Chains A and B, each alone.
Chain A
């Protein structure tokens, strides 16, 4: 875990105030590291200027891996390695492979994106996500600003947060 990082943490009670504050603070050239909220806030992604997630692309890749793997495995097993006579059909025929291929595609895609999501969100095993303020899991919106990424001083950012409607401004070191 990286150490010696200094954060200014703003606590917000209301999501409308939060949305306005995000725009105002970013308008002042301050880089916001992350905002934590107890429920999804509509329009927060756009306000923070996040790019769209690339998770669907990962999902497609995992899915198509599953498709190819399932088709190859079934064809190899039933067509070459251990051919079986099932109702007089061809050993390797497409129709009965389709349901298995479909299910395996879904399995690979869903497991793949869940695992990818856990890794990119820093929730993989043996990694502990930072908690800037435990109340973000209850009723407060928490905005974290990394001092190392910003030119403004701690006090200036704190004042800006207060002006934008933060109910508290704290400091947090990791």
Chain B
């Protein structure tokens, strides 16, 4: 019989999160001033480089892009920076939230026993889904002109100077059934539908898990498994399309058939690291008494294995583009590897997502010790944050990117809000399932 255990969301913790958010806001404001005071000269000089780079790489399209770059200056640099940063964090934390639900669904579909005492942690992470959905839809309406090049209607106007045949060819994917250049209804419906479906399955699976605490038996577990199986099928398709919609379409001309997988791998690795961080910190705060070194070992193995998986997908995408050397594909990596604000992030991301976790989590003991997991999982999460930064920012900011106070500030605010929502959700449910059918198996879990 499992005793009642609840996470207590202390006022002290809340104060800490408010301070974190306040520090983030301060850094953000400082960052805005820094961009406004010193950024202008650099901005114009770098636009020249950007033009010459695009001209040399894609001569047949250079004419369009030059005009487009001149015409779509859009918002001032500081505002564009905020939009890009908000969009990047929005994608990053949406991923962590949805992976919470995905992890729970995997456990049901695989009939896994070991994870029984920790499943409430990823479930609480799923509470971020509705917040993320509302935020992303609002942000999209506010910032779409600055983030998504394809939202400009003159790209689809044959009489306009900035008419772009390549983007017109992709128009239907965004604008169907309306005319290209009007309102991207198909895109918008997908965004709402994905968040709606994810939230729906979150509610259903959560309902079964909580009902099990009261009623016991195996009926709730079986129902949750049914929902999980359906959700996994939906998620397989929706995560891929979401990756094209929300991230790949920023670089509208560019495409990669690996991209759906790549975003999934990045989300999955970030989510696993986040679950592990939550579990080890709850454990060292005195909660989750049923969790022992064997459960930590499994979580460590997950992070270790999927850090290698992420690298495999990353390399699968890189190698093909490198070998084929087709200009419209290589420009994506050239813009990251050869440009000052992005090149160090490109290499640091590989180092933090592959080399460090690979070496640090290799031995059995390192996966079983809280202190090592507390060291490696934040490295992976920050590495993934860099990874998402390089996926979103180069396409939005071109040469005006770069991580400064503004980006760090926005991320700290996001982190504080995310932690607040998740910890709040966690404090409202039983921390450990009371009548989980596999609890006994999990307590005797031994590896």
Contact = CB atoms under 8 A, between A and B. Distances in A.
A124 B364 CA distance: 28
Contacts of A87: 323, 325
Interface in A140-164: none
Interface stretch (B72-80, B108-116, B128-136, B314-322): B314-322
B6 interface: no
Given A42-B446, A87-B325, A96 B362 contact: no
B446 A96 contact: no
Given A56-B363, A56-B364, A95 B325 contact: no
A87 B315 CA distance: 19
A95 B362 contact: no
Contact of A95 (B319, B364, B446): B319
A96 B323 contact: yes
A96 B364 contact: no
Contacts of B446: 42-43
A36 interface: no
B394 to A, nearest CB: 20
Interface string B296-324: 00000000000000000001001100110
A60 B358 CA distance: 12
Contacts of B325: 87-88
Interface string A29-70: 000000000000011000000001000100010000000000
A43 B446 CA distance: 9
A99 B323 CA distance: 13
A95 B363 contact: no
Interface residues of B, number: 10
A98 B315 contact: yes
A85 to B, nearest CB: 13
A56 B367 CA distance: 14
A96 B320 CA distance: 10
B315 A60 contact: no
Nearest to B315: A98
Nearest to B363: A56
Contacts of A95: 315, 318-319, 322-323
A90 B191 CA distance: 44
A114 to B, nearest CB: 20
A96 B319 contact: yes
A87 B323 CA distance: 8
B362 A60 contact: yes
Contacts of A56: 363-364
Nearest to B324: A87
B78 to A, nearest CB: 38
Q: Which of B318, B322, B363 has the most CB of A within 10 A?
A: B322
A89 B362 CA distance: 34
A87 B364 CA distance: 43
Contacts of B319: 95-96, 98-99
A173 B325 CA distance: 71
Contacts of B363: 56
Nearest to B316: A99
Nearest to B321: A95
A117 B214 CA distance: 51
A113 B325 CA distance: 40
A42 B325 CA distance: 54
Nearest to A86: B323
B114 to A, nearest CB: 15
Nearest to B322: A95
Interface in B358-395: 362-364
Contacts of B362: 60
Nearest to A88: B325
Contacts of B318: 95
Q: Which 5 A-B pairs have the closest CB atoms?
A: A95-B322, A95-B319, A98-B315, A42-B446, A87-B325
Interface of A: 42-43, 52, 56, 60, 87-89, 95-96, 98-99
9 contacts: A42-B446, A56-B363, A60-B362, A87-B323, A95-B315, A95-B322, A96-B319, A96-B323, A98-B315
Interface of B: 315, 318-319, 322-323, 325, 362-364, 446
